[in-house]
């Protein structure tokens, strides 16, 4: 859970503090340096950072950790669903859609592994 949360926090802080830098690399879609679209990665980064910090601060017992695993897994499942909606809207796979799907499917696998590890700790 620590590794997953640190990765989520790193991306979240990057998107919140330096959205244009994230866009210049293949880490976020281009916002063309326009203020209103730039607010989207900042908001997304803030939400991701909050989930990561809440997870890091709250996973003090197995029961609490299970609840936080669900929060993280549902977050990544919803993000994957958003990528699928974007795929439908764009009508094709491009690097942004593929990147989003890859990140979220990898995160879901990570949370599944963490859940199994937690089950083994009981």
Asked if 28 contacts 22 with a C-beta cutoff of 8 angstroms, the reply is: yes
pLDDT in tens, the chain (122 residues): 899 999 999 999 999 999 999 888 877 878 888 888 889 899 999 999 999 999 999 998 888 999 999 999 999 999 999 999 999 999 999 988 998 999 999 999 999 999 999 887 66
- Got the DSSP string for 35-88? HHHHHHHHHHHHHHHHHHHHHHHH--SHHHHHHHHHHHHHHHHHHHHHHHHHHH
CA neighbor of 27 nearest in space, from 16, 40, 11, 9: 11
Asked if 86 contacts 97 with a C-beta cutoff of 8 angstroms, the reply is: yes
The domain total for the chain is 1
Tell me which residue range forms the domain holding 80: 2-121
Q: What is the pTM of this model?
A: 0.83
Asked if 61 contacts 89 with a C-beta cutoff of 8 angstroms, the reply is: no
Q: How far apart are CA 14 and CA 66, in angstroms?
A: 27
């Amino acid at each position: 859970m620590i590794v997953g949360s640190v990765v989520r926090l790193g991306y979240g802080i990057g998107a919140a503090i330096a959205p244009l830098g994230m866009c210049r690399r293949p880490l976020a879609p281009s916002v063309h340096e326009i203020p209103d679209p730039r607010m989207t990665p900042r908001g997304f980064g803030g939400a991701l950072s909050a989930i990561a910090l809440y997870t890091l601060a709250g996973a003090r017992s197995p029961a609490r950790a299970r609840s936080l695993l669900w929060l993280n897994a549902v977050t990544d499942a919803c993000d994957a669903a958003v990528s699928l909606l974007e795929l439908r809207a764009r009508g094709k796979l491009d690097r942004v859609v593929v990147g989003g799907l890859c990140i979220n499917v990898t995160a879901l696998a990570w949370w599944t592994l963490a859940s199994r590890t937690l089950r083994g700790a009981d």
